[in-house]
Chain A
Amino acid sequence: MKIYVKITLWVCFILCLNSLLYSQNTNQGEIHGNIQIDAQTYQADSTINAPKVPEKMLLNSYANLVYTRGKFTAGLRYEAYMNTLLGFDARYNGTGIPYKYITYTDDNLEVTAGNFYEQFGMGLVLRTYEEKAIGYDNAFEGVRVKFMPFKGLTVKGLTGKQRNFFELGPGIVRGADADLALNDVVGFLQNSSTIINLGGSFVSKYQPDKDPLYKLPENVGAWASRLQIMRGGWSLYTEYANKINDPSADNRYIYKDGQALLVNLGYTTKGFGWILNAKRVDNMSFRSDRNATIMQLNINYIPIFTRTFTYTLLNKYPYATQANGEIGGGTELLYKFKKGTMLGGEYGTNLSLNYNRLHSLKKNNPTDTNAIGIAGTLGYQSPFFEVGDELYYENITAEINKKFSKTFTANFIYQYFAYNFDVLRGMTGHGMVYGHVGVIDAIYRFNDNHALHLDAEMLFTKQDKGNWAMLTAEYSIAPSWFFSVSDQMNYQNPESNEINHFYLGSIAFAKGGSRLQIGYGRQPEGVMCIGGVCRNVPASNGVMVSLSSTF
């Protein structure tokens, strides 16, 4: 029966597209899209513990198609995992069209039926998005209405289920959000240089209670409010969220309410910027299946304030947001030394300083038991303004970006970090990892088309796998060719048989909207633990082929 309904819906969808395409209108609309194919061969390599892969080759691929005509947009995404690349969830294995939608947009109304992504405020109670690189996709399937009754007010309402690999999760999510630009509405603010925006959201999920062990809430509500004030170079953004009892796999079935507060304060002027942020997150994991784990079925998103880098060794020990509880903050200073000054030189020098520190929450015994965190109790009490004793993460980062001449530019980074391995990877027995990372990244341009890019990175730590070094050289011939070789090595690994070279070489060719990259090399292994579930991302050795095309 179900298959017939599916087929009927598909026929309707195609007919709809067809009638749009071939109706006797002057405007025939436009089709755009993109395709991405990533494949890798795997060979067993005992020196780096790369396992044997029975398929010998694995492949992730997808294609997006978007058709726009007048007030209508329709689109779909086909995905194929045959089978998933190592490190991705094997539940993606297979093919399908998990994303398809039709949107109607008018002056003050937008209606979407099918799949969609949405975000309320910073996402503390609702944010869906996709990130192919890590296999994250929590898209809604349902309906969404955006309504702008008058200038300054946007109201959104949605209901849907969420994507769970090639299925939908069991829970139904209902949400509403309003965004009010006060300057457009309140008379005396209309010409004011102070800009004030207000917002509020309410989200509720429904999942039946079929659990024989616990009395579970079937409807779990969460709300959030936000305020943004901007004046001159100053800006303040704050968002507060609250969620009622939501026992789940993430919080180990405790019945405490959840809450989260974010505050961002910033000042910018020409050549100078300063940001201060603070956050407190307490029991705010929110999923449309209470038993989902890792990257499945998240309704909300806890923003991460620590700066993220693309450099490999700066990503060996990255901070991961702790939805179960964290308190901390950070600050960043950006300064540009002007041209012609001693530090600025001929072209000016950019300096950025960054500091972050995050701790556990202070937890006291709950009222209904004398132990913390027992399933089927309130779990714990947490005084709002007190900081827990356990350090989760700390970093100090300095970055200098300098253009020395018309042909030579370089970037220098130093970072000190303290990383709570036990908490951030969900596995005890490792303790804290303290380290220093240095990066020198230089680009030399021979002429308009030829450029050489050299990147040297060092990571020094006495814990975990010891010191790492990495060198990368890239040569590009614009606009089509790109050559790269790199090697990383944990040269002071306390386990001497784990000291290995992880070399990687690749060639890429780009033309028009298409790019083909072929590489060969080794990648080191890692163990990833999120929400109490661990996945071993094995080392690999093989040929990588990546093809992308946009049209």
Chain B
Amino acid sequence: MKNVRYIIPVLILAVLNSFMACDKIDAPYKETHNTGTDTTTYVQKVLIEDFTGHRCGNCPRAHEKLHQLITVYGDKVIGIALHSGFFATPLPPNYPADFRTTEAEELATTFGVTQWPIGMVNRTAYNGSVLLSHDAWSEAVANLINQTPKAHIAIQANYQTASSKVDASITIKLLQSIEVPLKLCVYLTEDSIISAQTDYDMNPNLIPNYVHMHVFRASFNGTWGNELSLTGKQVGDTLLRQFNLTWNAAWVKKNSHVVAFIYNANDNTIIQAEQGSIQ
């Protein structure tokens, strides 16, 4: 009888443990995808803003993750590399390039970036945090990408030789009613810039000919963009906004993109984004 008391705690443990099952996963560990191109007219796009730096040795892991997500989701995922902070400062002779911009620095400061790499997925909190480590991007993208879009953005960007400017026409079509105040931002990014990068996975870790993608170059309308008033607009209506940006001769047009997005001015969450090339 005395031994009965020994059994009670053992039973408690056994019961607890039976609830705490383990999930043993067998190979293959990777999901198979059949995403490809989305044939529906209007799709939700997801913007990943990657705070990065050419002297940040762990940052190529975030670049790889962004590339991986673009491979899986195609043009539904749009990337911007925001070179900012200590790791983006030039250090000649090995790191002469300066990809920093006042806009990227302002974004880093406003969103409280104190570590690199880190990023934002549609500037939307996932698991309570807007700033997400690159390993969390895929979940955050999956969480947003199948939403029904509230708006559609179309970009027409043309280079004007006479004025050395890029004209960008942004057309926004309302697909659902939007009750929050909106802002529209238009940025310019450049791909395939060959320049040095630190990569801690490589030995030596200085990669002189690293290919930098999605590098934020400039904004057509400032860090935070312009207000987009929907007064008098109905679902199905379109709005047209036009901007221009003086071209910098160091940029390569065929590698550059105009990225436009609309966001909730109250909480910064991005509602829709689009990317277009320059004609």
CB contact list, A122-178 vs B, under 8 A: 147, 149-150, 153, 155, 157, 164-165, 167-170, 174, 176, 178
Tell whether, in the assembled complex, residue B139 and residue A244 are in contact, meaning their CB atoms are under 8 Å apart: no
A204 to B16, CA, bound (A): 10
Contact with B along A284-323 (1 / 0, CB 8 A): 0000011111100000000000000000000000000000
CB-defined interface of B189-208 with A at 8 Å, one 1/0 digit per residue? 00000000010101111100
In the complex, which residue of chain A has the Cβ closest to the Cβ of B115? A535
Cβ contacts under 8 Å, B141 to chain A? 212
Q: Name A49's closest neighbour in chain B (CB-CB).
A: B86
Say whether A389 faces chain B, with CB atoms less than 8 Å apart: no
When A155-B13, A211-B139 are in contact, do A533 and B115 touch as well, CB less than 8 Å? yes
> CB of A214 within 8 A of chain B?
yes
Q: Tell me how far the C-beta of A197 lies from the nearest C-beta in chain B, rounded to whole angstroms.
A: 16
Question: How far, in angstroms, from A91 to B142 measured CA to CA in the complex?
Answer: 24
Docked complex Cα distance between A294 and B58 (Å):
13
User: Is A534 within 8 A of B116, CB to CB?
Assistant: yes
Q: Is A368 an interface residue (CB 8 A)?
A: yes
Report the bound CA distance from A214 to B72 in whole Å: 12
**CB distance B142 to A212 under 8 Å?**
yes
B160 proximal to A (CB < 8 A): no
| Cβ-closest chain A residue relative to B131 | A91
For A368, the closest partner residue in chain B by CB is B27
With a cutoff of 8 Å between Cβ atoms, the chain A residues found around residue B113 in the complex are: 90
- Bound Cα distance A85, B96 (Å): 31
B5 touches A204 (CB 8 A): no
- CB-nearest residue of chain B relative to A147? B9
A5 within 8 A of B: no
Total A residues in contact with B, Cβ cutoff 8 Å:
64
CB distance from B36 to the nearest CB of A (A): 13
B116 partner residues in chain A, CB cutoff 8 A: 533-534
A249 near B127 with CB under 8 A, answer no
Q: Which residues of A contact B86 (CB under 8 A)?
A: 536, 538
Q: Which residues of A contact B29 (CB under 8 A)?
A: 214-215, 247, 255, 376-377
Q: B9 to A212, Cβ gap below 8 A?
A: no
> Are A535 and B25 interface neighbours, CB within 8 A?
no
B31: interface (CB < 8 Å): yes
Tell yes or no: A216 within 8 A of B by CB. yes
User: Using an 8 Å CB-CB cutoff, how does the interface string of B2-23 with A read, 1 for contact, 0 for none?
Assistant: 0001001100110011011111
- Name the distance in Å between B7's Cβ and chain A's nearest Cβ: 10
In the complex, whether A115 has a CB less than 8 A from a CB of chain B is no
Contacts A91-B112, A291-B133, A428-B203 known; A215 to B20 CB distance under 8 Å? Answer: no
A89 close to B (CB within 8 Å): yes
Q: Which residues of A contact B209 (CB under 8 A)?
A: none
Q: Which of A54, A89, A203, A427 has the most C-beta atoms of chain B within 10 angstroms of its own C-beta?
A: A427
Q: How far is the CA of A529 from the CA of B203 in the complex (A)?
A: 18
Among A90, A212, A244, which residue has its beta carbon within 8 angstroms of that of B138? A212
* A174 in contact with B30 given A157-B12, A164-B128, A536-B87 (CB within 8 Å): no
Partner of A217, one of B8, B16, B25, B117: B25
- A218-226, A352-360, A402-410: which lies at the interface: A218-226
Chain B residues whose CB sits within 8 angstroms of the CB of A378 once the complex forms = 27
How far, in Å, is A137 (CB) from chain B's closest CB? 15
Give the distance in Å from the alpha carbon of A247 to the alpha carbon of B139 in the complex.
Answer: 14
A324 within 8 A of B: no
Give the residue of B16, B31, B68, B203 whose beta carbon is less than 8 angstroms from that of A215. B31
- In the complex, the answer to whether A147 meets B12 with C-beta atoms within 8 Å is yes
B21 smallest CB distance to A (angstroms):
5
Q: For chain A, residues 204 to 236, give those with C-beta under 8 angstroms from any C-beta of chain B.
A: 204, 210-221
Kindly list 12 other residue pairs between chains A and B, CB separation below 8 angstroms, not including A90-B112, A147-B9: A165-B129, A167-B128, A174-B20, A212-B141, A215-B25, A215-B29, A215-B31, A219-B23, A533-B115, A533-B133, A534-B57, A534-B87
**Contacting residues of chain B (81-111) with chain A, CB-CB under 8 angstroms:** 85-87, 109
Are B128 and A168 interface neighbours, CB within 8 A? yes
Task: Assess whether A429 is interfacial by the CB under 8 Å rule.
Answer: yes
Decide yes or no whether B254 CB sits under 8 A from chain A: no
> Would you call B112 and A536 a contact (CB within 8 A)?
no
A525-537 toward B: CB 8 Å interface, digit per residue (1/0)?
0000100111110
Q: Residues of B contacting A215 with CB < 8 Å?
A: 25, 28-31
User: How far, in whole Å, are A249 and B8 apart by their CA atoms in the complex?
Assistant: 40
The residue that A221 contacts in the complex, of B21, B87, B202, B205, with Cβ under 8 A, is B21
Q: Is B56 an interface residue (CB 8 A)?
A: yes
Query: Who on chain B is nearest to A222 by CB?
Result: B22
The answer to whether A153 and B128 touch (CB under 8 A), given A90-B113, A93-B112, A533-B117, is no
Q: Which residues of B contact A91 (CB under 8 A)?
A: 112, 129, 131
A291 touches B9 (CB 8 A): no
Write out, one digit per residue, whether chain B residues 116-153 have a CB within 8 A of any chain A CB (1) or not (0): 11100000000111011101101101110000000000
Known: A90-B112, A91-B112, A294-B115. A211 touches B138 (CB 8 A): yes
CA distance A212 to B116 in the complex (A): 24
Residue A273, interface by CB 8 Å = no
Q: Is the CB of A153 within 8 A of B9?
A: yes
Complex: how many Å from CA A386 to CA B68?
36
B58 touches A212 (CB 8 A): no
Give the shortest distance, in Å, between B150 (CB) and chain A (any CB).
Answer: 22
> CB distance A219 to B133 under 8 Å?
no
- Of the residues B22, B25, B27, B31, contact of A212 by C-beta under 8 Å: B31
Q: Specify which chain B residues have a CB less than 8 angstroms from the CB of A164 in the assembled complex.
A: 127-129
A8 → B minimal CB distance (Å): 21
Q: In whole angstroms, how far apart are the Cα atoms of A378 and B24 in the complex?
A: 12
Which residue of chain A has its CB nearest to the CB of B199?
Answer: A428
User: Which residues of chain A are near B133, meaning CB under 8 Å?
Assistant: 249, 291-293, 533
CB distance from B192 to the nearest CB of A (A): 25
When distances are taken between beta carbons in the complex, the residues of chain B under 8 Å from A90 are 112-114
Instruction: Assess the B12–A155 pair: CB atoms within 8 A.
Output: yes
Interface status of B61 (Cβ within 8 A of chain A): yes
Please give, as numbers and ranges, the residues of chain A lying within 8 Å of B204 by CB-CB distance: 429
Indicate which residue in B109, B117, B136 contacts A291 across the interface (CB closer than 8 Å).
B136
Binary per-residue interface labels of chain A (405-439) against chain B in the complex, 1 for a CB within 8 Å, 0 otherwise: 00000000000000000100011110000000000
A248 CB within 8 Å of chain B = yes
CB contacts (< 8 Å) of A253 on chain B: these are 135
Q: B residues within 8 A CB of A289?
A: 127
Min CB–CB distance A395 → chain B (angstroms): 25
**Cα–Cα, bound, A533→B133 (Å):** 9
Q: Per a CB cutoff under 8 Å, which of A176, A204, A534, A536 touches B13?
A: A176
Pick 22 A–B contacts, CB within 8 A, sort by A.
A89-B114, A91-B129, A149-B8, A155-B12, A157-B16, A169-B128, A176-B12, A178-B9, A211-B139, A217-B22, A244-B22, A245-B25, A255-B25, A291-B133, A291-B135, A376-B30, A427-B200, A428-B205, A429-B57, A429-B205, A533-B118, A536-B86
User: A16 to chain B: closest CB distance in Å?
Assistant: 27
Which of A211, A221, A427 interacts with B142 by CB under 8 Å? A211
With both chains docked as a complex, state the minimum distance between the C-beta of A290 and any C-beta of chain B, in angstroms.
7
Q: In the complex, A89 Cα to B114 Cα: how many Å?
A: 7
Q: A248-B135, A249-B135, A291-B133 are in contact. Are A221 and B22 (CB under 8 A)?
A: yes
Q: Are B56 and A213 in contact (CB under 8 A)?
A: no
